[in-house]
Amino acid sequence: MAIRTRMSGNEAVAYAIKQINPDVMPAFPITPSTEIPQFVASMIANGEIDTEFIPVESEHSAMSATMGASAAGARAMTATSSCGLALMWEVLYVAASSRLPIVLALVNRGLTGPLNINAEHSDSMGARDAGWIQIYSESNQEAYDNFLQANRIAEHASVHLPVMICQDGFITSHAVQNITLWEDEPIKKFVGEYNPEHYLLKEDESMAVGPYAVSNYCMEEKKAQAEAMKNAKQVILDVAKEFEAVTGQKYGLFEEYRLEDAEYAVVAIGSVCGTIKDAVDALRDKGMKVGLLKVRVFRPFPGEEMAKALKHCKAIGIMDRCESYSANGGPLGAELMAALFREKVTAEAVNIMYGLSGRDVTVGDMGEVFGWLEKMAAGELHFDEYPYLGLRD
């Protein structure tokens, strides 16, 4: 029987790690992800899992040791946030190009400047071109479910890429919410044993990882890696289907919430989607045709699929919890606008900056956003610049 209980997002991910029982977990503490390695260390201390924990001296070493363990043939994972991910940056690329199926629990927090510990997507968005699959979670349940699916995606023969499972710092990682935990046996069967084909410790062959490659070879290697990222799209959907068969939970590349007939749509990532759903319900009650497209998978980017799902809308608000200082909006805004253009979607569209450094977003704020979209579609409102939601004057 599944267990209905309540726990925080960090506890939920730690519970997933317990069920996966990985071989090696190197990690370094950083708020707000610190609890995850703490929970894992406790489980090891209490004999609940066989994992070896490596208490490394930095996140750079956390990712390096995770890479070493994965290349050696172990199922290896780590957890971090914010500056911790930034310190891993160099090795993120090496891990991806070495095609190592590492899983990273990322608890999203803004990068320093100024120092702030709250929810923002600047950490993972900064690493968006590092070659990692990125899957985002709205709630503790999704963080748990996504984490359980991560190894299957990463280790798939046509993928072999690292995966980061993201949840919003504090809002999801620390808030206690209801959750359904799945039974051990079917989950362990779903996740399966890790039996890689080639690895450093394979006794009947030696293997070399991390070459110097000249330009004669590099471009082909990069193309192969790009193809693997493309393949990941179908694999993510296939794994989700299998996960649904085990748990009844449905997952896709993104979630459409009352979007089918929506005239005004918002596109967003992460915990804010719960707030947006409440706003959508309230406005629908008033007869306004509004909807939400919640991005679950950001890498690979399902641009074509999202553009098609938004094609019928009159106005679209694209929400970014990350300033990219490009003077052109945030990363989701830039990439989705390009996808809308390619699909010849002619709806009015605006990129909206929200929730930076943990700034709260309310149902009322979202009512304001949908009001903007209605006016934009009617030709009554035009933004010369991408607006900041809830910015003090």
Strand partners, 52: 24
Crossing angle for the helix pair 184-191 and 9-20, to the nearest 10 degrees: 70
Stretch that binds other proteins, among 52-60, 120-128, 303-311, 313-321 (CB under 8 A): 52-60
Q: Does 66 bind other proteins (CB under 8 A)?
A: yes
Contacts of 16 (CB under 8 A, 6+ apart): 144, 147, 148
299 — phi, psi (to 5°)?
-130, 120
**Residue 66 or 81 having the CB closest to other proteins:** 66
Residue 137: count of CB within 10 angstroms of its CB: 28
Name the 3-class secondary structure at 53: strand
Q: How far apart are CA 56 and CA 54, in angstroms?
A: 6
Strand partners, 257: 292
Q: Does 213 bind other proteins (CB under 8 A)?
A: yes
Q: Which of 3, 6, 176, 211 contacts other proteins by CB under 8 A?
A: 211
Question: What does the DSSP 8-state code read for residue 231?
Answer: H
Residues 71 to 130: which contact other proteins by CB under 8 A?
71-74, 76, 90-91, 94, 98
Q: How far apart are CA 67 and CA 62, in angstroms?
A: 8
**Residue 68 or 131 having the CB closest to other proteins:** 68
Shortest approach of other proteins to residue 94 CB, angstroms?
Answer: 5
If we measure between CA atoms, which residue out of 182, 166, 116 comes closest to residue 9? 166
Shortest approach of other proteins to residue 133 CB, angstroms?
Answer: 20
Stretch that binds other proteins, among 104-112, 171-179, 202-210, 279-287 (CB under 8 A): 202-210
Which residue has tokens 């359980």?
148
Stretch that binds other proteins, among 194-202, 314-322, 335-343, 363-371 (CB under 8 A): 194-202
**Residue 83 or 91 having the CB closest to other proteins:** 91
What track of x and - describes contact with other proteins for positions 148 through 187 (by CB under 8 A)?
Answer: ----------------------------------------
**Residue 56 or 273 having the CB closest to other proteins:** 56
Residue pair 180/141 in contact by the 8 Å Cβ criterion: yes
Shortest approach of other proteins to residue 165 CB, angstroms?
Answer: 20
Q: Does 208 bind other proteins (CB under 8 A)?
A: yes
Shortest approach of other proteins to residue 203 CB, angstroms?
Answer: 5
Residue 371: count of CB within 10 angstroms of its CB: 14
Q: Which of 186, 210, 248, 364 contacts other proteins by CB under 8 A?
A: 210
Length of the chain: 393
Q: How far apart are CA 161 and CA 26, in angstroms?
A: 18
Q: Does 197 bind other proteins (CB under 8 A)?
A: no
Which residue has tokens 């989700």?
240
20 — phi, psi (to 5°)?
-75, -35
Q: Does 188 bind other proteins (CB under 8 A)?
A: no
Residues at the contact surface with other proteins, assessed by CB under 8 A: 23-24, 26, 50-52, 54-58, 60-62, 64-74, 76, 90-91, 94, 98, 200-203, 206-214, 217, 221
